[in-house]
Structures are given as structure tokens and as C-alpha cells.
Chain A
């Protein structure tokens, strides 16, 4: 909590972002403590890693357009005007704590139900089962949300002022060594997602990390891949997911009703395509603008 306060209150924006990344790491440890390694993976990969990279990218772009970005951020609401805000926030915090206080310490969650139906889901990791079988509607929409975010970013049409410095030997070597390892670990996480913590989102984030690394060391999307192939890859995951959602609707009359016998296989297909699409979407979000052919030349 102190870390979060520091991250939000520090005068220097760069410091705030570094603190935010550290905050993500601490959150990941908290998830481990709460026996939720799935979330720890997602938080470490997506929450800390990619959000940090996105924030830094925005920070640098803001700094390039106006070098004094660090000056005007310290000007915030202060003095007498902040007291009502502080008081109402304290009041809200107490109200929230009061709302949590009477909750019974033992509540029957859905854990037993999930455990009872786990063998019909095709996977043995309960979180993956919930994500991709029992409540796959959420996950489908989540993939869509990512895609929509990308569409939003693209339609804003910010082309990034790309001024890549030469990466240098050390950075170059490091990225060349890390990229294959990252891809390997992504594939491992994807495969392990069926029976252990891991899965499409974590693996997608690892793929996105590869892309961020490569972009930072001066790699550019080949012009031939920029238009249609990129878009096809972006929609491959959602489309596969949708198809596998609609086919049961036609056959059995229920959306997203995966037949238990095939569920494991189908989940793997969905997850693989979703991983690739999520990774690509996140890379594209990091890049910020729709790549068009004129820029490439």
C-alpha cells in the first residue's frame, strides 16, 4: 500500500512508473500468497510488464512532444481544497471496510461445483476450466475487448515518431537470446495451462514481450506483412473462438457448449489461436498506430 501511495504521489513521473512496475511485482507476490499462481502469472506478465511498457512508451512520446512534461505534473490539487476530497475518501474507505466486515468468514463458493464438474471440462486446471469452459462467454468477450481497444487506438491514428537508436551490441545480443526463450516459455505456459497454472493470456503476454523486445531493438514489421496478414492474425483468435462457440449453438442449441469428449482438444485450439492473437494485439497496442504501407517506405 505504501508502494502504491509512493507510485501515485511521487513528484517525478518516471519514478512513479518505476514504482508502479515494482507495485505490480509486489502484487504478484501477494497473489502467490493468496494461492492464486494463475493470477500471479497474469499479473507479472501483463500487469507489471506490459502495462509498464505501455506507460513508458506514452511517457517517452509525451516527453518528445513536450520536454517539460515532468514540470507540469507536480502541479496538483493541494492546500485547503484537498481537504474535502481527503475526508470523503476516508469516509468511503471506512464504508468499504464496514461493508466487508460482516461478511461471514466461511462462505460456500463455487469451488465444490467446479471441482465436481472438472472432469467434464477437458482440462484439469480449475481456473482454465472456468475461463474456457464454464464461463467462456466472459473470455470470448474479453478477447473482443482487447481487439476493440486496438481498434480504438488505431482509429485515433497516432503515428509514433519513431527514432530508433542503434540498439548496441549488448542489447542486441540479449534480445536475440531472450526472444527464442520467451517464445519457448510461452508455448510451455500454453501447454501447461491445461493442468497447471498458465494459459492463453499469460502465453500471449509472453509473446507480446517478444514483440516489445524486438521493436525496441530496432526491428520493424516487414511491409509485406503489415496490412492484411497482420489483421488476419489479429482476428484469428476471436474468429476461431466464435466459430467454436457458434457451432455447438447450431448442433445442440446452446452457445459455447463444448462436448465433454472433445473439450480438451477444442480448448487447446482456442487457446493456441487466442494466444497468437492476444500477443499480436498487445504488440500492436504497444506500437500504438495502424501500420500503413506509406510509413514503411
Chain B
């Protein structure tokens, strides 16, 4: 069992754990954590695949893709968190806007 395979396996494990948590837990913040963990699993598989070709030259394309992916994951997490806060507010007040927010808000 090569190191690359080991890391790829760990990646699938992470993905599965994340998916499990995503399905089982009901709290939305925890679901966001779960999605992030799933993403990490995918990145791990990608990076493990990048180390497969020999020892001399690493494949930089998956690396670049992973960096892109990490940034996109942060963007997704931030948007999701904003949505969660909004949902919470709606559930508590019954309004979709804050009571003190201005009318000219976009």
C-alpha cells in the first residue's frame, strides 16, 4: 500500500465522516462544518493523486485546483453562515429583515 493510496483512503474516510455528519446532525452550523470536512476529504484525494507520478515531478495542476477549491470553500462557508443567521432571525422574529434595518437596503 503506497503512501498516495493511504492518503487517498484517508480522504475518502474524511468525506464519508463529513457526509455522515451532514446527514445526521440537525444544527446548521454543524452542517457547514461537515461540508468543510467533506471538502477537505476531496482535496486530500486530489493531492494524493498528484503525488502518484514517480518522485521527481509533482503535478502542480491538482495543487492549484486545491487552492482554488479552498478559497471557494471559504466563500461557500461565508455565504452559508450568512444564510443561517438569516434563517435564525426569521425563525425567531417572523420577519425576513431586521427590525432596525433601513428601508433602502438592497
- Chain A interface residues toward B at CB < 8 A: 1, 4-5, 7-9, 13, 16-17, 20, 23, 27, 30-31, 34-36, 38-39, 42-43, 46-47, 50-51, 54-55, 57-59, 61-62, 65-66, 72-73, 75-77, 82, 85-86, 89-90, 92-93, 96-97, 100-101, 103-112, 114-115, 126-127, 129-131, 134-135, 138-139, 142, 145-146, 148-150, 152-159, 199, 201, 278, 282, 285-286, 288, 290, 292, 294
Contact = CB atoms under 8 A, between A and B. Distances in A.
Nearest to A19: B33
B48 A34 contact: yes
Contacts of B61: 109-110, 114, 130, 134-135
B47 to A, nearest CB: 5
Contact of B15 (A82, A96, A108): A96
Contacts of B17: 1, 4-5, 8
B79 to A, nearest CB: 5
Contacts of A152: 79, 82
B47 A34 contact: yes
Contacts of A111: 53, 57-60
A108 B50 CA distance: 10
Contact of B53 (A50, A92, A106, A155): A106
Interface string B16-41: 11111101111101101110110010
Contacts of A158: 82, 85-86, 89, 98
B98 A159 contact: yes
Contacts of A290: 105-106
Given A1-B14, A131-B64, A288-B85, 8 more contacts: A4-B14, A4-B18, A35-B51, A54-B78, A59-B29, A76-B26, A76-B27, A93-B13
B63 A38 contact: yes
Contacts of B68: 131, 138-139, 142
Interface of B: 2, 4-5, 7-10, 12-21, 23-27, 29-30, 32-34, 36-37, 40, 43-45, 47-54, 57-68, 70-79, 81-86, 88-89, 92, 97-98, 100-102, 105-106
B3 to A, nearest CB: 8
Contacts of A139: 68
A104 B52 CA distance: 8
B4 A105 contact: yes
B36 to A, nearest CB: 6
A109 B48 CA distance: 12
A154 B85 CA distance: 12
Given A46-B70, A89-B23, A111-B60, A106 B86 contact: no
Given A46-B74, A50-B74, A109 B66 contact: no
A107 B19 contact: no
A203 B105 CA distance: 32
7 contacts: A23-B37, A51-B74, A89-B20, A105-B4, A109-B62, A155-B106, A286-B78
Contacts of B76: 149
A291 B97 CA distance: 16
Contacts of B15: 93, 96
Contacts of B82: 152-153, 156, 158, 288
